[in-house]
Amino acid sequence: MANAYDVIVIGSGPGGYIAAIRASQLGLKVAVVEREHLAGICSNWGCIPTKALLRSADVMHTATHAKDYGLTLEGTIKPDVKAIVDRSRGIAHRMNNGVGFLFKKNKVDIIWGEAKITKPGEIVVGKSTKPVVQPQGPVPKNTLGEGTYTAKHIIIATGARPRALPGIEPDGKLIWTYFEAMKPEEMPKSLLVMGSGAIGIEFASFYRTMGVEVTVVEIMSQVMPVEDADISALAKKQFERQGMKILLEAKVAKVEKGANSITATIELKDGKTQQITADRMISAVGVQANIEGIGLEAVGVKTDRGFIVIDGYGKTNVPGVYAIGDVAGPPLLAHKAEHEAVICVEKIAGLPNVHPMDKLKIPGCTYCNPQVASVGLTEAKAKEQGRDIRVGRFPFVANGKAIALGEDQGLVKTIFDKKTGELIGAHMVGAEVTELIQGFVVAMNLETTEEDLMHTIFPHPTISETMKESVLDAYGQALNA
C-alpha cells in the first residue's frame, strides 16, 4: 500500500529528522509528517540561527576592543540590524534545505500537514494551520499530503513552544518570545529579559553586546539556575562588568504597555517593588511541549506535567507509539533529541546492545559571553546525594593561551567521587568552553578516573590545559596555580 510505512515520524526537528534518517539506513520504509518547515525550531528559530546572531556579537565585541590587541580601526563600529538578521535567516534557510536534501538522499517521504493519531498504527493528516515553508532544491516528491496513513511504529517528535505566563503573554510587538527577538526591525535602546536560562541569557548577551541597556530578572537565587554555583557566580560577575543589570530572587509581577515601551513591576526578595521601563521585553520562562491535537487522548498515551511519559528507549505506554525530544521531557536539548532518536529507532529495528539514555551524561551549553558548559552533577547535587567528593578548580587567569587571547576570565571545575576516582561532574565558564566540554563527556562515558586524566597529555598552549589542571587541583597536584 502506498500509504503504509514501517515508521512514521511526526515532526522534522533534530529528533524527528534523525529518527527518519536512521530508520531508513536500517532498511525501514519511512515518512515524516511536517506542518511548517523542515529541521524544526532548532535550525529555523533556535540553536543555529541564534548562534549566527551571537557570532555577529562576537565580531562586534572584538572590533570594539581592537585597541586591546594593538589595532586601530577607523570610523564608528555599529550594528547593521537588517544585515545581521538577514545573515541569521539565510543560515536557517540553508539548514532547512539541507534536511530536505538528506531526506531525498535517504529516500524518506515527506507528508505536509498536521498529523493526528486515530488509533495505534494509524494517523490522519489534515491541512496545516501553519504557513508551510518547503525547501528549495532537490527534495523528495511530496506524498499525498492530506489523508490516512498507517505504520507499525509512530514516533512523536513534535517539540515545544515558548511558555507564556498569565497576564504577561507575548504580543509579538512589545513583549517578545525568541521568535521576535531573533528578527528585530531595529535595535531597542533598552530591554528587559524575564528569565536567565539558556534562551534568556543568550539574548541578553547578544543585545548587550550590540549596545542595548539590558536588565535580567530571575526568580531563582542565581543566573542560569541549573548550573554549578561557582560557574554561575563568575558568569554573573562578567555579565555585570559588561554593563548588564541582573536582579535575582525577583519576579515580574505585572507589565503595563505603552505606545512603544513597557513598564514592569518587579517584586524583590525583600518584599519591596521596583518599576522598570524598557522599549521591549523578552519572555524567556521556559517552553511547553506540543502535545495538543495529536490524538494522545484517543489512544491513551500517558503524559505527566505536560510531557509524554517514555521509558529509556522512547516507548510510551501504548504499543507502537513512541516519543522523543522536547515533547518527551527534559533536558530540552537538540542533542538529547538526536541521541534519543537513534536509541528509539535502533530498538525498533531490533539491533543488539542498544543502551538507554543516561541523562547525567548529556552536556549542556549556553553560548553567551562568556560561554558556559557542563555535564554531570553540580557540587550541590553531589552533596545532596551524600556523595563523598573531591573538587578541583582551575582559573583561566593561570592559562597562557587564555591570557594570549585576552580571554583570561574563566574557570574549570571538576567533581570526583573520592572513593572510586570516578568523574561525576564537570563545569566550565569562559571562552570556547562549549567546544571543550565534550572532552569530559567522552571521559565520563568511558568511566575515566582521575588517574587516566592526569596521565593524558594535553597540547600546549591551549585552553584545554585548564581541564587537566582542574583534575590535578582536585588531588592537590595543580602545577600552574
Task: Show which residues are catalytic.
Answer: 460
Length of the chain in terms of residues written: 481
C-alpha cell at 380: 550541590
Name the nearest CA neighbour of 319 among 306, 301, 346. Answer: 301
Q: Give helix 198-209 / helix 47-64 axis angle, nearest 10°.
A: 30
C-alpha cell at 165: 505566563
DSSP for 421-477? Answer: -BEEEEEEEETTHHHHHHHHHHHHHTT-BHHHHHTSPPPSS-TTHHHHHHHHHHTT-
Cα–Cα dist 337/42, whole Å: 11
C-alpha cell at 412: 574549570
Chain-centroid distance of CA 232 in Å reads 17
The helices-and-strands tally (H runs, E runs) of the chain is 14, 24
Beta strands in 163-279 (DSSP E): 175-176, 190-194, 213-217, 245-247, 251-257, 262-267, 273-278
Q: For residue 234, give every residue at least 6 positions away whose Cβ sits within 8 Å of its Cβ, in sequence order, or none.
A: 370, 409, 410, 411, 429
C-alpha cell at 385: 546525594
Q: Specify the amino acid at residue 433.
A: V
Name the nearest CA neighbour of 219 among 252, 175, 184. Answer: 252
Cα–Cα dist 6/19, whole Å: 12
Opening angle at CA 261, ends 257 and 263, nearest 5? 60
Beta strands in 127-242 (DSSP E): 147-156, 160-162, 175-176, 190-194, 213-217
